[in-house]
Amino acid sequence: MPPLRLGIIGSGKGSNCRALLEAAQEKSLHYEPVIVLSEVSHAGILSLAESFNIPSRFVEPGPFKTRLSEDAELEILSQLQAAHVDFVALAGFMRVIKAPLLEAFPGKILNIHPSLLPYFRGLEAWKQALEANVHETGCTVHIVDSGVDTGRILGQSRVPVLANDTIETLHARIQEAEHELYPRMVHQFAHELIKKEEGRRE
Ligand code: GRF
């Protein structure tokens, strides 16, 4: 079966998106990035996609800070459907996903979070880890559900917290781990979806 078509959604600089795009460019993987969407018009993730020749679109988010308006969510859905996306990876997307997207891609939206979930859900998880004085944190790839960072865990990488760490050094070490973990998990997840689909056809 050909690789599954992946849509990527993010709000920021897109270093995880870069890791996903680079991995797919370097090796033959079970996913193929086909569109990048952002609700932030100047987000680095959009220009990054262009530099990889992947179509990218800004979607006006509406008036709320932590979620999308219903129109925005429907617009994202229609962009994903127009690009014939099979599954979705959030890459630094800063808003919660609601029913229209969750229902259109049931169990098929992945996220990467900068902690060893279930610890340190929510914003600035690396800062939460530093403040909690833990010796180890990490990153988690999970399925997105209607909660915040609560969906089924697909994989994790551990990262040490060093005595002289600052927010910046710890965040950078976690991001390095993210860039290795996310493409590997997205590839593996796509492979599982393909096997399920083939099983259904037999
Ligand atoms: C990452 O640390 C990710 O874990 C979190 O948001 C950050 C996005 O960074 N969900 P980037 O835009 O991929 O560089």
Convert the pLDDT of each residue in 138-147 to its tens digit. 999 999 999 9
What would the pLDDT profile of 45-102 be if each residue is shown by its tens digit? Answer: 999 999 999 999 999 999 999 999 999 999 999 999 999 999 999 999 999 999 999 9
What are the φ and ψ backbone dihedral angles of 85, each rounded to 5 degrees? Answer: -75, 135
Average pLDDT over residues 30-37: 98
E-strand ranges in the chain read 4-9, 31-38, 56-58, 87-90, 109-113, 136-143, 153-160
Residues in contact with ligand 1 (CB, 6 Å cut-off):
10, 12-16, 91-92, 112-114, 175, 178
Partners of 56 in beta bridges: 36
Mean pLDDT of the chain: 96
- Residue 195 C-alpha to ligand 1 middle, in angstroms? 29
What would the pLDDT profile of 103-151 be if each residue is shown by its tens digit? Answer: 999 999 999 999 999 999 999 999 999 999 999 999 999 999 999 899 9
Q: Which of 110, 89, 77, 105 is nearest to 24 (CA)?
A: 89
CA-nearest residue, atom 7 of ligand 1: 92
Mutate to test the pocket of ligand 1, among 93, 174, 175, 180 (most ligand atoms within 8 A of CB): 175
142 tagged catalytic: no
pTM summary value = 0.96
Q: Which of 142, 116, 111 is nearest to 129 (CA)?
A: 116
Query: Which atom belonging to ligand 1 lies closest to the Cα atom of 91?
Result: 13
The catalytic residue among 30, 113, 142, 171 is: 113
